[in-house]
Structure 1
Amino acid sequence: MEHEFQDGKEGVIQAWYMDDSDEDQRLPHHREPKEFIPLNKLSELGVISWRLKGGDNHEDDENLKKIREARGYTYVDICEICPEKMPNYEAKIKSFFEEHLHIDEEIRYCLEGSGYFDVRDQDDCWIRVAVKKGGMIVLPAGIYHRFTLDTDNYIKALRLFVGEPVWTPYNRPHDHLPARKEYIDAFVKKEEAGNPAITAH
């Protein structure tokens, strides 16, 4: 399933390493020179994605139905994030941008607009993932991440979930949580095993 609906994905999802600037979080924050990341690098971090159609016809989207059935996404709702439509907008945006993890997957399908999902790589560096209309992204349970709008200040996204939704963020550090330990075992230690450190005797 992860390998379906991949054609033209780079048109709606891009990823790059971030700079260390404290400027407006909604700016792209490219390094100089820019360091784009192939999307298969994201899959090594457990982040999977697809390109769908976007827009308001999601209920009739056969490809979305296939993904939901294959991954057990039974719950769905729509979230619009913009100054005009979200109560306590400033406080919410600030909280979304606090580095945190969830004990379940975070699944977002961008119907309209755009935004940035930032994730940590195996070396704890920030990767910025830009998602536009038609992009669907799954962040695995236990990955440290954050979200912000870009300078267009608008995203309309489908939120999906397995079972009853639990949106609880656990701000870093929460390394003791089982979901974090499972994530490290699955995606961080696996990477380290391919590059064994030299130990002093």
Structure 2
Amino acid sequence: MVSAWFYNAEDKSDPREKHQYSPNRPVSLEELAQFGVLYKFVDASSPYDDKINALCKERDYKNRDYVCITVSSMWLDIAGQVVVFMLLINVSPTKLPDYENKIKTFFEEHLHEDEEIRYIVDGSGFFDVRDKNDKWIRIAVNKSDLIILPAGIYHRFILDTNNYLQAMRLFKEDPKWTPLNRSAEIDQNKFRKEYVRDFVEKGSASL
């Protein structure tokens, strides 16, 4: 079952740690939905194709692939900020062009112009997303968690200390992964503006 909390940016330890405040400041699924983040539990310990197929039909997802990610211990400290370099050790022979550079950029704050849908088949990791007040929320995903991030939300991803995650990626069109790193220019992106209008200035999403 997914869990979420406010990310403690003052904690300068390994980014793969939980980075919780003391005491912890949890965030509920209802609060996540207020800024467009959706969650569904789909048991990965039993056959799940029918449930995934039903979701794909409901939300018009046409394509899917699988990725299996581990992380090497390559760290670089630049101006006091920890930058994570991740290496893709194994990936299914589906489309993930230029994979080494893409894995390295996962922890850079970015958005996509399409929904980001991840179904965790095995392993665990963290998605960090910005809330309505531009604060980081850390979402811990584990086996059987399915998470949907709306187009236009600023976010990033990193493995946790288990250093392993296997996930199914779902796409509305052809598989693609185009990150747009945060900048003043990207703040004016059409999909970013639509996200701000629909969630920062308005209401919540539903699944």
Q: Under a length normalisation based on structure 1, what TM-score does the superposition of the two structures give?
A: 0.83
Mapped pair 1:176 → 2:188: yes
Structure with the higher strand share, 1 or 2: 2
Question: Which piece of structure 1 moves more, 116-125 or 80-89?
Answer: 80-89
Gaps of 5+ in 2: 72-87, 92-97
Separation in structure 1 between the aligned mates of residue 46 and residue 169 of structure 2, nearest angstrom: 14
Give secondary structure in 2 for the equivalent of 1:96: coil
Question: Hey, what does 1:149 align to over in structure 2?
Answer: 159
Q: Residues 188 and 170 of structure 1: is their aligned pair in 2 closer, same or farther, counting only changes over 3 Å? A: same
Is 1:100 matched with 2:105? Answer: no
In the alignment, structure 1 residue 82 sits paired with structure 2 residue 94: no
Tell me the CA shift for residue 94 of structure 1: 3.7
Query: Between Structure 1 and Structure 2, which shows a larger proportion of helix residues?
Result: 1
Alignment of 1:51-200 (within 5 A): 51-55=41-45, 57-58=47-48, 61-83=49-71, 85-86=89-90, 92-173=102-183, 174-190=186-202
Q: Distance in 2 between matches of 1:189 and 1:150?
A: 32
The amino acid that maps onto 2:66 is I
Aligned residues: 178
**Identical residues among aligned pairs (%):** 46
Question: Secondary structure in 1 aligned to 2:202?
Answer: helix
CA drift of 1:55 comes to 4.7
| Distance (Å, rounded) in 2 between the aligned partners of 1:55 and 1:82 | 21
How high is the TM-score relative to the length of structure 2? 0.81
Query: Are the counterparts in 2 of residues 56 and 111 from structure 1 also a CA contact under 8 Å?
Result: no
User: What secondary structure sits across from 1:108 in the alignment?
Assistant: strand
Counterpart CA distance in 2 for 1:74 and 1:33 is: 43
Q: What is the CA distance between 1:145 and its match in structure 2? A: 0.1
Residue number in structure 1 paired with 2:38? 48
In 1: Cα distance, 2:104 partner to 2:23 partner? 28
| Amino acid corresponding to residue 187 of structure 1 in structure 2 | F
Q: Return the letter of the residue paired with 1:18.
A: Y
1:76–1:55 Cα change, 3 Å:
farther
**1:71-103 CA-partner distances (Å, limit 9, x unpaired):** 011100000001472489986544100000000
Q: Which aligned runs of 4 or more in structure 1 are off by greater than 3 angstroms?
A: 55-58, 86-94
